[in-house]
Structures are given as structure tokens and as C-alpha cells.
Amino acid sequence: MTRPETAAPDRPGVIAPPPVIALAAILIGVGLHQLWPAGLLDGTARWAVAAVLCIGALALAGASLIQFRRHKTHVDPYRPATTLLRGGPYRFTRNPIYVALVLLQAGIAVAADSAWILAMTVPALAVLHGGVVLREERYLAAKFGADYAAYRARVRRWL
């Protein structure tokens, strides 16, 4: 007996939700900092830098989420994309929410005075890139074809 063919699911197949990846990296950084403390900045400059990074991250994420809402598509990577976002921050980077996550992690690292949390942005970016971004790009290329190819040629992946 043969199995009926099933259509591929209409989603990118990411390995984990991106906020979970960022949170895991932050928690690993906190653990490493507890074992081997390594600071970054002293004094009030630390708080100013942390505030700029965190506020910038939240503003970028907020502007990105507005685009999802405006175009009635899903931010959840386990749900189908219904349209290709090209406005707002998506004019400058194809991954503004992921850029915001990295900025937020850096801001948290500075606020916590932890070089380890900051260092964990590198593996977090590697996991985001391989386990999320590349999968989303394959999905969007298959779903939106020439429109996505033109967008990808015009807008950088990161910055």
C-alpha cells in the first residue's frame, strides 16, 4: 500500500522561535558570568549605552511588528506568510526583528556589565542564521518567487 503524497507545510521550518534562541544565549551568558565574571563598562556610561541599545532594539522591533499587523501576516514563524513585507524597516534589512534581538541582547549585556552575555551574541547569531534565516529565505523564495528574488537583490540580509 502506498502512502498518499502530502504537501509540504506552508511554513519555513525554523529550528526554534528566535526569541527563545536569544533568551537561551542570554541565560548561558548569565551562567558563564556567574562562573567567571567579566565586566564591560563602569559608571554612568554603561547605563547610557545600555539604554540606547535597548530603546533602539525595542523601536526597531516595534516598527517591524507594525508592518506585520498592517499587512495582516503572521510574525510567528510556525504560521504561513501571507505577504512579503517591504516597508518600514524592511526597506533596509530583511531581518529587522533579528537585528533588534541582537541589539537587545547587547543592551542587556551592557546593563548587566557582562562580557559573557555580549559574547553569546556570536553563537546566537550563528544559530539564528543557520536555523532560522536561511530556512525562512528558502521558504520565501519558494512562496514568492521572482518578487522575493527582486527584494533580496535590493535589500541586505542584515545591515
Q: What is the pLDDT along the chain (159 residues), one digit of tens a residue?
A: 445 555 567 888 899 999 999 999 999 999 999 999 999 888 889 999 999 999 999 999 999 999 999 999 989 988 999 999 999 999 999 999 999 999 999 999 999 999 999 999 999 999 999 999 999 999 999 999 999 999 999 999 998
Q: Is residue 1, in this structure, part of any structural domain at all?
A: no
Note whether 43 and 67 are within 8 A (CB): no
- The reported pLDDT for the residue numbered 6 is 55
Q: Is residue 47, in this structure, part of any structural domain at all?
A: yes
Q: Which amino acid makes up residue 110? A: V
Q: Is residue 22, in this structure, part of any structural domain at all?
A: no
Please count the structural domains in the chain.
1
Of 50, 137, 66, residue with least CA distance to 95: 137
Rounded (10°) CA dihedral 45, 48, 54, 58: -160
Range of the domain at 140: 41-154
Q: Is residue 133, in this structure, part of any structural domain at all?
A: yes
Q: Is residue 87, in this structure, part of any structural domain at all?
A: yes
Q: Is residue 17, in this structure, part of any structural domain at all?
A: no
| Cell numbers for 56 | 533602539
Note whether 82 and 10 are within 8 A (CB): no
Q: Is residue 21, in this structure, part of any structural domain at all?
A: no
- For 4, residues 6+ apart whose C-beta sits below 8 A from its C-beta are none
Of 102, 109, 110, 67, residue with least CA distance to 87: 67
Distance CA 28, CA 25 (A): 5
> Cα separations (Å) of 49 from 62, 109, 129?
20, 10, 26
